[in-house]
Structure 1
Amino acid sequence: MALKIFSASAGSGKTHRLTIEYLLLCFQNPENFRHILAVTFTNKATAEMKSRIVNELFKIASGEESAVFADIKENMPGKSELFLRLRAQDILRHILYSYHHFNVSTIDSFFQVVMRAFTRELGIHSGYNLELDTEMVLEEASDRLISQAGKDEYLIDWLISFATEKFNEEQKWNYKKDIQTLAPESLKEKFALFSSRILTILEDKDKLNQYLDELKKIINDFEYHQKSNAVTATRMITSAGMEVNDFSYKNNGVAGWLFKLLSEPDKEPGKRVSEAIDDLSKWFSSSSGKDIKNRIETLLNNGLLSLTTSLYDYHRQHIMTYQTARLIKQNIYVLGIIGYLNREIIRYRTENNVLMLSDVNQLLYQMTESEEAPFIYEKTGYWLNHLFIDEFQDTSAFQWHNLLVLLKNNLASGYNNLVVGDVKQSIYRWRGGDWSLLLHKIYNDIDHQLVKNFNLDVNYRSCPEIIAFNNQLFWLLSDFLPEKFLNLKEVEKTSEEDRNLADIIRQAYRDVVQNIPENKENEKGFVQISFIKSDENANWKAKVREKLPDLLYSLLQDGYEADDMAILTRTNSEGQEITSFLLENTDFTIVSQETLAIGSSVAIRFVVCCLKYYLDAEDKLNLADLLFSHNLLFNESSQNPDIDHLLNYIHGKEENEILSKLREVFSRHAALSLYALTELIISSFNLYQFEREQAYLSAFLNLILDFSAKFKQSVTEFIEYWEEKAHSLPIRISDETKGLKVMTIHKSKGLQFKIVIIPYCNWSIDHLSGKTQIVWCRPEEKPFDMFPVVPVRYGQRMKDSIFHKEYYEEKLYAWMDNLNAM
């Protein structure tokens, strides 16, 4: 028995290895497939794994050449080829006859099966629906919270305090947008783990006010001490007829620090301050005149030195408590708002009898805490002896906990299990993936003697030059980044434990070097890195975009097709920039989230305008848009009419015909549903005649059908939903759609292209300073430990608080996330 852990870099044959390991168990006993659970993270990966297993079995059974047969024979010595081929037929027959026991699925699908078996124990209605549109639920919860604000004085206090904190930090305040930004925090596992305790604490308003008063006292005491003593010290200097420039290092020296304390009571005393306290000669420079030196010495002897020492010592003794209180107070209002949001989400779930994927993980976590694993999983109807986990670096802490109980039971029963992953491919931490599970936590959870490590170090996908480039780049970065981390100013003064975090990068990239397969040694590849020289006020991204058309056309001349190419960006907005530019300046067919958005269709634009016209026939702007989109559809010779042409069109004969037809459609609305009304608009104007619009029209009708099933038949509510969110939803298309692909790096994971272009390869290795990043921290020291976790805004202030370890961890994890995105 063993837990096999495969480190599988990109292109190293991960699915091939999974197929071999799965089939080896089946060749031992054809019934074993019933007792194997293989989980991955996407439906596409699930389909690929199932297909690979069945196809290889068929090839072996029918005598065809199989990519895995040699490994099967090697691992089953003494068995003839005929025996193995007959065994393959037997296995294939068992799987096809009992396909429902072919347990290869997404991790979410498997947990759904388990959840359905325990609805009674969990107090959930057995007919609950799974809500996959998490964003919609969060928006609904946010709207409900806002509507409650006028009725709940305590909630108003939270919101006002939150707005005040943002104002004090000189940040913009948009209450609806800010609440919707906070909403996803209520689903994060670090909050969910303690949510019930936090909600209980938030309900005890007296206790909470005492906690806030204590935080305010810590802050006020520190600031009063530093400011009042700084006032005394600076008055001594000015009363002696002196100024900062009379002292050593002027504004950057010890005197400068004293004056800065007047407005920045937490201003850190640097090395020059500590040296000046120990050595009086550091208060003045070698060029200072005798008179200046004497006056400074007099000041120091008259109390300035003792005041400075007091300020310095007080800062060192109390800065951690002060910064901790300030960080918690700054975001305690966030915690209150998240608590309210959590309540609204629970109400929404109850009223609509739905669960979200995050709820399933959390409920199973709670259940596996108190129940025996065999009982939990046997009740589902499965007897699972072998667990295969794919893409383990993207597994969340809850998911791992829920699977761990099954895995431990399997190992204790003497069965083999398997985990496949690669820390270097982890780019989904923002949605719960925890690559530290693969790096070290799994070794803490499983007895080392039961673990066998394997490194798949041959890259079968890429050309030799690509492999060599990646080897050199990431090998250098795995050395450079730990050194960069250790050389950070703040790290130099911190604990050994914090400095040891630098080793995480070295560990994660210890197997970074990939080998070239023998059959590819003579193949060629190409890597080009271009740097753009940009003037101070120039838009360097515009210069990059201008180079793209020539590059793309030159690739076509070299024999590549548009479908061979992919342009990858870090963000959706960057992808939209690229897409818009290429659509305007090239004749490429672009396949991207923007061009495939339902709202990008002219026909859909026209239909939506018709629905708006039904709501308000006097809206002139909408009328103009309605007629303009109709013109684009039905008068293709004038795809971009000028203003004069449009005005003539609006006042022409066709206007009355269009509106008359619409009024005729609307006259029948009383007996029609929203779906039927939309369908009637489409058929009345014969919009299906436009072949390029058919996929968008079908997707739009499906969208209305889903909306009507979940919400109401109201045209008004649908238009609100459309404008807020639905217009940007993509249509579902086949992977075979031809064209130049423009997508984010996250969307491209698992795909491969002959040509990959990254035009904006300039992203920050740390979190962007303009974007608020919440870190959930455990305040384990008194007097801060009333809450099990608190939300803290990521920033340098954390390094001087009790959350310094979480600060350095988050910084290092952000570095890893952004490095992996390359």
Structure 2
Amino acid sequence: MKSSLTVYKASAGSGKTFTLAIQYIKTLIEQESRHAYSHILAVTFTNKATAEMKDRILQQLYGIWKGLPSSANYLESLQKELRADGIELPEEEIRSRAGSALCHILHDYNRFRVETIDSFFQSVLKNLAHELSLTANLKVDLNDKEVLHAAVDHIMERLHLTPIILNWILEYVDDRISNNERWDIAREVKSFAAWIFKEAYLAREHEMREVLRENKRIGELRTALNYELHASLDVVQSAAANFRAEMEAWGLGFDQFSRGGTIDTYLRRIEDGNIRAEFGSTLQGYTENAEKMLRKADRSVAALVEAAAHFSELLAELRGFQTEQLVRHTSASLALKHLNPLRLLGVIDEEVTALNHENNRFLLAKTPILLHELIEENDAPFIFEKMGAFFHHVMIDEFQDTSTMQWKNFKILLLESMASGFGNLIVGDVKQSIYRWRNGDWTILKNIEKEMAVHRPDIRNLAINYRSERRIIAFNNALFTAAAEELDRLTPDAPIRMAEAYGDVAQQCRPDKGNDGYVQIRFFDEKDKEDDWETRMLDELCEQIRTLHEAGLPYGEMAILLRYRRHADPIIRHFAERFGDRVKLVSDEAFLLSSSLSVNLLIAAMRYMADTEDRVSLAFLALHSGKPTEADANLLASRPLETFLPGTYLNRMEELKTLPLYELQEELYKIFDLGRIPDEDAYLFAYFDQVTAYLQDNPSDLRSFLTYWDETLSGASIPSGEVDGIRIFTVHQSKGLQFHTVFVPYCDWNIEQDTRGFNRRNDLLWCETHEPPYDSLPVIPITIEAAMRDSVFSREYEEEHLQRRVDALNTLYVTFTRAEKNLLAWCRTRYTMDERSTTGDLLYHALPRALDGVEETDGENGETSLFTYGEPVTSYSSGRKTSDNRMETDYRPVPVVMHSYEARIDFCQSNRAEEFLDAFSDTDKPRHSRNDKRRMGILMHKIFSTIYTRDDVEKALRTLETEGLIGTQPEMDALKQQVEKAFALPEVARWFDGTMQLYNECPILTQEYYEETGKYGTYRPDRVMFGKDEITVVDFKFGRPHDEYRDQVGGYMKQLHLMEPDRRVKGYLWYILNNRLEEVQV
């Protein structure tokens, strides 16, 4: 019986995209339905993979339909797959069905559901807006970092209104100061709070929220943990004190024992509060054999022999207390570390939710957990029928990168499909799981056969490598088999067996391949100075590139792969010194907006405008302002930096500050003549597009934009296109790519994370334990460090430790399998037989037994320093093949020249269109010359409806001036005078002192439904302020008093009382021009 679930285990280069395309097309051909494609969901993890899969499906449908030679292998494989399913179709019928399917897909493209997993969840979210209590036109936002920072900043700004949170913050500050850490905790809180978007927290979010709402819970746990901390130390210190007391009682000194100072030092460290005091081999020997405590001459003295026996037992007892209490002490210490920021998580999470609601926004990071909860509460068919499509077939690519929450959602979909007898497909490779930091869980794929055993999944291995040459394949087969065994040997009792995970690593080579391919691994001694070995490595890298290029290999066929982005800088510098402009290195960093001189000049100019004390920005402007002396550092140091800036910039500084953000940057572009800088237009166009996008959802505020630049926009990049040069990638960026020749410098990242990799900031595990007092929280965040071994969290530590070994080996596998012809790597090792701390150590010990035919070259000290296998390959496929498939786009690099032109029209539109039009109604009067009461009232209303505190008045006046509503200085002065007069009233001054939570012109929706309009009733008070015990509502008036005004405010007060029945509501009419307050009674 045919299985309803097929799982392909696709090692690197095994034709995964080919297989997916065949399976998708087969599913279309098997069914006679014209809309079969609309019932297939195919998901992958990147936009690039999605585009590639879509293109491949469409191209091959066309090629099969038209009988193109380039699609002959697809047709052959398709016929084989159909026959395996018991379906015999004539070739002409297959071609006809392929053409029909292509036609229907192209005419109904929106239902061609090949998409990223995020796009899928986003579409689910929009279709379930009602069930999720969201508006149908909500904006799905990917930038959770920006929202998070805004939420934390908002909480910090309102600490004076929330004394409980203020106390938490102060306790956190005290803890950090006592631990000699930064007391400015805003950055630390933001960093820790990022966990609210990660599955480790989201999986228990509701439980944690309930717990965190109970203010006492964290406080009680904190008290209990502090007790554990001190009580455990007291036990050990008491035992140490008892040891000293016994020594005195026996009348003995430490000098009477052999190396007795060791015991004294051990006791003093415990007495000083170090519960982790080392119990070395000497002390261990004393507990195992009391005689060792005595010098040889004293071993015949009966009194001393008796004393030695007694104190050996005491020492063993002390060690027992230390071992026992160390777990108790370490557990409490680890758990206490993050308790303060933990109780802020609930507040921050609620603030994020409130901000999202206010801005009609939903964060994509929370979609999987929300969808899972909704599916659990409803029938899965209903959920997907609600989307307008019930999927018969589900195909999941890169399954090893699926997270637990994503799998829970897809599993329900798969089970529904399988229950109906439809076929489904999973494709993945445990060995290529390198995105665990993005919640990817490779164990789901590893255990899929067991988990879905009842459905008898059909497990298939794609055994042929179509990418690499024969020697590259043979080398990787042998190396990773040996490397997995090496790692298993380190921890024979580990629950994760590397040899099992790498059981399918061996691949076959295409029969038509020769015996080509070249591998070189160079080792350096880790004891060498960094400058020494790094220089030698980079020199050799340059020499290898020069040799291959002179032999005919273009630079564009080469790639440098790095584990860490930071290693790109020394490579780029070394190449510049060695080759100058002759060799071009291309990295993604080169295409970041922050790499553009023009963009950086704009940012520096705005920074200096925002803060004239910013000497760094001033110096940058002076150095790059374009004057002839810009390269003369001595001259720059001899004169005030301001003299090097354009005079227009300095003279117009105050005027420029009043311009809207976009217009300001256009003016700065002209003032600094940025058009003079060559090859910068692509960056500037992309940058101004980003500014426009920013302004769609954010205010035109200079400081806010500069913060956005620092946190987000500086990391944006421009499309790089095709560049003839050596590409530099991180390993994670290279996933799915392949290169003729791969160079891997710095190939020695950590395997044993204890030594160098753990204890990074915010490197946490969320641990669950049932031991009191830790069981009072669903999960507790614990910093990953070696001390976890001696705690109640040791199981989680060991699991994480092994997972990181898998990460390290998988990263090495992905790196080495990118190569087609040549693979060259450089790494450091300790050369010792017992070390496997880095991939360099692992390679050094695995290579000798990996493969026959590997040549070894000894270094200066007799250690093997070079392994080679095969001969370098310089042949390559040149030129582009002309495709016979019309659906295949013939990509050709086209040089693009961009130019910037000054705008010929200046257009300014006020936010008050009626004022703009009114300016033309009195042609006999100059614009802005009128200052009647009605106009003054309108302007005053606009000021008071936009300001939060009294300090915002100046900014509001400047905004009115920018919008064209204030045109003369006398008018500005009159407005200022009137505003200051209004603040003279004590009650008004209190409304604008910033102590209350403000809602300016926010609508109040009522339950009154009006059938004639089809809408609910709405009230819109001018200013509503929430204090601790009361609510104040104010309406601004500028004319004469009327009874209807009081009725209007009374209506506001009634609605607010319904919303907040426990608070007192006060209402006022404020006649601003007359400077009179009238309290409204209800």
TM-score clears 0.5: yes
Alignment of 1:416-427 (within 5 A): 416-427=423-434
Provide the residue aligned with 2:623 in structure 1: 628
Q: Structure 2 residue aligned with 1:43, among 47, 50, 62?
A: 47
2:371 aligned with 1:364: yes
2:801 aligned with 1:811: yes
Shift of the alpha carbon at 1:380? 0.4
Is contact 2:555-2:726 (8 Å) kept?
yes
Matched to 1:40, the amino acid is: T
Alignment of 1:649-798 (within 5 A): 658-660=646-648, 663=651, 667=655, 670=658, 672-683=659-670, 687-688=674-675, 690=677, 692-734=679-721, 736-767=722-753, 768-772=757-761, 773-798=763-788
Shift of the alpha carbon at 1:204? 1.8
Matched to 1:481, the amino acid is: L
Q: Structure 1 residue aligned with 2:439, among 432, 436, 461?
A: 432
Instruction: For 1:102 and 1:747, locate their aligned partners in 2 and report how far apart those are by CA, in whole Å.
Output: 27
Matched to 2:760, the amino acid is: K
Instruction: For 1:398 and 1:718, locate their aligned partners in 2 and report how far apart those are by CA, in whole Å.
Output: 35
Q: Which has the higher contact order (CA 8 A, sep 6+)?
A: 1
Cα distance change, pair 243–728 in 1 and its aligned pair in 2 (3 A): farther
Shift of the alpha carbon at 1:407? 0.5
2:589 aligned with 1:594: yes
Alignment of 1:268-287 (within 5 A): 281=290, 284=293, 287=296
Shift of the alpha carbon at 1:205? 2.3
Provide the residue aligned with 2:238 in structure 1: 228
Instruction: For 2:672 and 2:276, locate their aligned partners in 1 and report how far apart those are by CA, in whole Å.
Output: 69
Once the two structures are superposed, what CA deviation does each residue of 1:447-476 show, in whole Å capped at 9, x if it has no partner?
A: 344211111122111122221221222111
Cα distance change, pair 524–716 in 1 and its aligned pair in 2 (3 A): same
Instruction: For 1:537 and 1:51, locate their aligned partners in 2 and report how far apart those are by CA, in whole Å.
Output: 47
Instruction: For 1:732 and 1:540, locate their aligned partners in 2 and report how far apart those are by CA, in whole Å.
Output: 36
Select between 346-355 and 538-547 the one with higher mean Cα deviation. Answer: 538-547
Shift of the alpha carbon at 1:382? 0.8
Instruction: For 2:120 and 2:606, locate their aligned partners in 1 and report how far apart those are by CA, in whole Å.
Output: 41
Shift of the alpha carbon at 1:260? 4.6
Select between 279-288 and 224-233 the one with higher mean Cα deviation. Answer: 279-288
Matched to 1:261, the amino acid is: I
Higher helix share: 1
Q: Secondary structure at the match of 2:749?
A: coil
Is contact 1:765-1:818 (8 Å) kept?
yes
Provide the residue aligned with 1:355 in structure 2: 362
Provide the residue aligned with 1:494 in structure 2: none
Cα distance change, pair 55–334 in 1 and its aligned pair in 2 (3 A): same
Q: Secondary structure at the match of 1:127?
A: coil
Is contact 2:598-2:680 (8 Å) kept?
yes
Shift of the alpha carbon at 1:19? 0.8
Q: Structure 2 residue aligned with 1:523, among 516, 519, 532?
A: 516
Q: Secondary structure at the match of 1:125?
A: coil
2:66 aligned with 1:62: yes
Cα distance change, pair 174–4 in 1 and its aligned pair in 2 (3 A): farther
Matched to 1:563, the amino acid is: G
Alignment of 1:385-534 (within 5 A): 385-440=392-447, 442-486=448-492, 499-503=493-497, 505-531=498-524
Provide the residue aligned with 2:11 in structure 1: 9
Shift of the alpha carbon at 1:291? 6.5
Instruction: For 1:235 and 1:156, locate their aligned partners in 2 and report how far apart those are by CA, in whole Å.
Output: 48
2:331 aligned with 1:324: yes
Shift of the alpha carbon at 1:683? 4.9
Instruction: For 1:323 and 1:667, locate their aligned partners in 2 and report how far apart those are by CA, in whole Å.
Output: 61
Is contact 1:596-1:730 (8 Å) kept?
yes
Matched to 2:246, the amino acid is: M
Instruction: For 2:115 and 2:364, locate their aligned partners in 1 and report how far apart those are by CA, in whole Å.
Output: 15
Is contact 1:766-1:818 (8 Å) kept?
no
Q: Secondary structure at the match of 1:531?
A: strand
Q: Secondary structure at the match of 1:202?
A: helix
Is contact 2:299-2:305 (8 Å) kept?
no
Matched to 1:675, the amino acid is: Y
Is contact 1:3-1:417 (8 Å) kept?
yes
Query: How much identity, in percent, do the aligned residues show?
Result: 30
Once the two structures are superposed, what CA deviation does each residue of 1:315-336 show, in whole Å capped at 9, x if it has no partner?
A: 5555544433332223322422
2:202 aligned with 1:188: no
Instruction: For 1:68 and 1:431, locate their aligned partners in 2 and report how far apart those are by CA, in whole Å.
Output: 35
Q: With structure 1 as the length reference, what TM-score do the two structures score?
A: 0.89
Q: Secondary structure at the match of 1:529?
A: strand
Matched to 2:38, the amino acid is: R
Provide the residue aligned with 1:535 in structure 2: 528
Alignment of 1:148-187 (within 5 A): 148-149=158-159, 151-162=161-172, 175-187=185-197
2:557 aligned with 1:564: yes
Is contact 1:464-1:525 (8 Å) kept?
no
Q: Structure 2 residue aligned with 1:606, among 593, 601, 621?
A: 601
Q: Secondary structure at the match of 1:762?
A: coil
Cα distance change, pair 780–458 in 1 and its aligned pair in 2 (3 A): same
Cα distance change, pair 332–624 in 1 and its aligned pair in 2 (3 A): closer
Instruction: For 2:224 and 2:301, locate their aligned partners in 1 and report how far apart those are by CA, in whole Å.
Output: 45
Matched to 1:709, the amino acid is: Q
Is contact 1:665-1:680 (8 Å) kept?
no
Cα distance change, pair 466–285 in 1 and its aligned pair in 2 (3 A): farther
Matched to 2:781, the amino acid is: P
Is contact 2:236-2:325 (8 Å) kept?
no
Is contact 1:544-1:759 (8 Å) kept?
yes
Select between 521-530 and 776-785 the one with higher mean Cα deviation. Answer: 521-530
Is contact 1:609-1:626 (8 Å) kept?
yes
Higher strand share: 2
Instruction: For 1:451 and 1:801, locate their aligned partners in 2 and report how far apart those are by CA, in whole Å.
Output: 41
Is contact 1:699-1:732 (8 Å) kept?
no
Instruction: For 1:11 and 1:639, locate their aligned partners in 2 and report how far apart those are by CA, in whole Å.
Output: 52
Cα distance change, pair 742–95 in 1 and its aligned pair in 2 (3 A): same
Shift of the alpha carbon at 1:801? 2.4
Cα distance change, pair 171–565 in 1 and its aligned pair in 2 (3 A): farther
Provide the residue aligned with 2:89 in structure 1: 79
Matched to 1:507, the amino acid is: E
Q: Secondary structure at the match of 1:7?
A: strand
Provide the residue aligned with 1:490 in structure 2: none
Instruction: For 1:344 and 1:245, locate their aligned partners in 2 and report how far apart those are by CA, in whole Å.
Output: 64
Provide the residue aligned with 1:491 in structure 2: none
Select between 620-629 and 5-14 the one with higher mean Cα deviation. Answer: 620-629
Q: With structure 2 as the length reference, what TM-score do the two structures score?
A: 0.68
Q: Secondary structure at the match of 1:124?
A: coil
Cα distance change, pair 146–568 in 1 and its aligned pair in 2 (3 A): farther
Alignment of 1:298-317 (within 5 A): 298=307, 300-301=309-310, 304=311, 307-308=314-315, 310-315=317-322
Q: Secondary structure at the match of 2:505?
A: coil
Instruction: For 1:310 and 1:157, locate their aligned partners in 2 and report how far apart those are by CA, in whole Å.
Output: 43
Once the two structures are superposed, what CA deviation does each residue of 1:79-113 show, in whole Å capped at 9, x if it has no partner?
A: 22222212211221221122222110001111111
Instruction: For 1:661 and 1:275, locate their aligned partners in 2 and report how far apart those are by CA, in whole Å.
Output: 78
Q: Secondary structure at the match of 1:121?
A: coil
Shift of the alpha carbon at 1:50? 0.6
2:634 aligned with 1:643: yes
Matched to 1:323, the amino acid is: T
Instruction: For 2:544 and 2:796, locate their aligned partners in 1 and report how far apart those are by CA, in whole Å.
Output: 44
Q: Secondary structure at the match of 2:509?
A: coil
Between the two proteins, the alignment pairs up a number of residues equal to 795
Shift of the alpha carbon at 1:409? 0.7
Alignment of 1:210-249 (within 5 A): 210-237=220-247, 240=250, 242=252, 247=257
Provide the residue aligned with 1:383 in structure 2: 390
Once the two structures are superposed, what CA deviation does each residue of 1:205-233 show, in whole Å capped at 9, x if it has no partner?
A: 23332222222222222211111111110
Instruction: For 2:505 and 2:661, locate their aligned partners in 1 and report how far apart those are by CA, in whole Å.
Output: 56
Shift of the alpha carbon at 1:444? 4.8
Shift of the alpha carbon at 1:362? 1.6
Shift of the alpha carbon at 1:163? 5.1
Instruction: For 2:724 and 2:423, locate their aligned partners in 1 and report how far apart those are by CA, in whole Å.
Output: 43
Shift of the alpha carbon at 1:165? 5.2
